[in-house]
Chains A and B, each alone.
Chain A
């Protein structure tokens, strides 16, 4: 018995997960079994098999992926978006300030739904290397594929991704079963689990009622669908804001390296867009973010260069420890260090800011409903993982739904949706914990912490199996 109680390592954790699921499944059971006095949905309501609430990047990608899936091609899918129709992407126009670092898993998703070529024909920046370093010490880590053969990430504007996805939906030869409804704000949701009906109902602000077998909440961190599903969330605000801007580099260069420096106030990242342009994501305290937005363009440029090049006061203990470590492992940090290109201007009106927070839903599914993207999880942008986790959800959900349809099950069948939850959780949780941990680790100047994180970072960079493990998780 004792062997059963304490199985080794990860198995233990997984077992625990399963137990939780088993127990939860039973708790839910009384809910999903029908009561007899349920009302019939009004015959006037329009019916869809799947309704996706929220037409952001992740929601739209899901609509396209569902529409392109052959097993699901007899299902009617509706994408609800509160905003007016997407204006489209203009390649002549200046680069947008909202960009994402897309990992290989997400690229594979785009390839499988045929949207990748569309983006590649326009502007996709391939990043070959990533350098991350600490302002409080000389610790530094670099990520790259062997001989720079593969990309570390791709930097793409969010608008271009949306445009590519909409182009797939507009193409008449595929995804015919997907309908997009703009200016459609969801006012209320009645899930079939609660009402005992066969379908869930979605009430729109314009008074229309829709019914569906499966409702997907892709409606962001304040998800209405999640609230209706009665799911608890763990969330915290970082009391930081992310400042974004598009900046002009001093000299045209190859520009294939993504740079990130951890300052005492938060990380600042410089992501390549083209030979002469880069995008800035600067996470910092709320007053400092406000100050950065108010600065004149010239002063902002100065502040940004300072953030990347300024020498911060270093603690003697840390410096000594790092020197000792470097002499033991035999590396000269000055030989390895590269410096980011200097910035000489910021594109007009490209500065904006957004709040940073952490959120994780205790569950992603219930009978007849599922959450994806930010509705289920939200992370700090320091590792550029947020949207990638969302795209990974899309892949898992489509896989599970096509399995369900292929086995003749209902799309809202909890047995299959739980599979999606299990697969997504096992991918998302380690990354979310890691990113949150990094944020916490780097938001202090307390010497012992600085010492440990510097040694840790340096060692990670030296011991390639560990480094590869991190890379595999983050890059996909």
Chain B
């Protein structure tokens, strides 16, 4: 009798743990599903071709563009493969708005430039011109525009920009006049709009870029003197590789598989060094992480995982 019970234990445990895994890591199924559904769907070839004719990217960049183009169909599915990105708005939108507000408190002549009436209200970013580099389907772009900022979103992928424009027209028509989407590189954009923006935001973009120095240089070129650059990205640590890429992409499905590559990650001190050389002083650097059980981002005391960085261009 007792022997039978003992024998049954491992089996039960196995069963239990399977249920546990299935229930708790519901996202797990999603990670698999996304690899089945979205990865087999091919990007819109005509636009991709047109894109190729317009600009010639190196293989690595083209791969990134294609990878994200495959995601465009599920970009706005709140619980889809990009749910982590949707939830990140929780932290990154206040990070940008607080950063901009704090920065505009006093200008060079110690005049108060902040509109006190806007403190702790929804139109917090009224009158601010923001450039979002690598805006993708516009998850952050729309959120910033909803705080009354004028946002320009640029991305290399024509497919994701199309997704962004479609979503904007259909679901957020009230933001149409404050958002401009463009399919072009930051280099092209900075040529046209040098020293123009109050802030440049590159959120979850830097880890997809090969030429980080050139990219950041172009970003900084578009900022007006005294303006800010906001960056959120993944740190280059073993911990991040294991938690963010191995667990995050292959087990929990926080991001689609194959989204992040170790070789392209960059440490905050390297970003700071590049920015310092471009005359930008880092004013804040915070760590953040995603809780897969609660499906929520939160600030943490270490930048070993993901981090958000705010730097100000010298006036």
Contacts and interface: CB of A to CB of B under 8 A. Distances in A.
Interface of A: 1-2, 4-5, 15, 18-19, 22-23, 25-26, 28-29, 32-34, 38, 70-75, 198, 367, 405-410, 413-415
Contacts of A75: 122
A198 B142 CA distance: 14
Given A33-B76, A33-B77, A34-B171, A70 B121 contact: yes
A2 B13 contact: yes
A406 B16 CA distance: 41
30 contacts: A4-B17, A5-B13, A15-B24, A15-B293, A18-B294, A22-B24, A22-B26, A22-B293, A22-B295, A23-B23, A26-B27, A26-B29, A26-B30, A29-B80, A32-B78, A33-B78, A38-B170, A70-B120, A72-B122, A74-B123, A406-B120, A406-B122, A407-B94, A408-B89, A408-B143, A409-B93, A409-B143, A410-B172, A414-B78, A415-B90
A407 B87 CA distance: 10
A29 B79 contact: yes
Contacts of B77: 29, 32-33
A72 B122 CA distance: 6
B144 interface: yes
Given A34-B171, A408-B146, A26 B79 contact: yes
Contacts of A33: 74, 76-78, 80
B147 interface: yes
B89 A409 contact: yes
A249 B275 CA distance: 79
B20 interface: yes
A150 B184 CA distance: 65
Nearest to B17: A1
Contacts of B20: 4-5
A117 to B, nearest CB: 24
Nearest to A408: B143
B144 A408 contact: yes
Contacts of B143: 407-409
Given A25-B295, A29-B77, 8 more contacts: A15-B24, A19-B23, A19-B26, A34-B170, A74-B123, A367-B78, A406-B120, A409-B146
B86 A415 contact: yes
Nearest to A16: B23
A405 B120 CA distance: 10
Contact of A1 (B13, B80, B122, B293): B13
Interface residues of B, number: 41
B121 A71 contact: yes
A409 B90 CA distance: 9
A19 B28 CA distance: 12
Contacts of A22: 23-24, 26-27, 293, 295
Contact of A23 (B26, B120, B173): B26
Interface string B1-45: 000000000000100110010011011011000000000000000
Contact of B24 (A19, A367, A409): A19
Contacts of B24: 15, 18-19, 22
A34 B123 contact: no
A407 B76 CA distance: 17
Contacts of A28: 79
Contact of B79 (A32, A38, A74, A406): A32
A415 B27 CA distance: 15
A29 B82 CA distance: 12
Nearest to B27: A22
B71 to A, nearest CB: 13
CB-based closest 7 A-B pairs: A408-B143, A29-B79, A408-B146, A22-B26, A33-B77, A19-B23, A407-B93
Contacts of B173: 198
Interface string B81-118: 00000110110011001000000000000000000000
A382 B231 CA distance: 55
A435 to B, nearest CB: 29
Nearest to A24: B26
Nearest to B119: A70
Contacts of A71: 120-122
B23 A73 contact: no
Contacts of B171: 34, 198
Contacts of A410: 146, 172
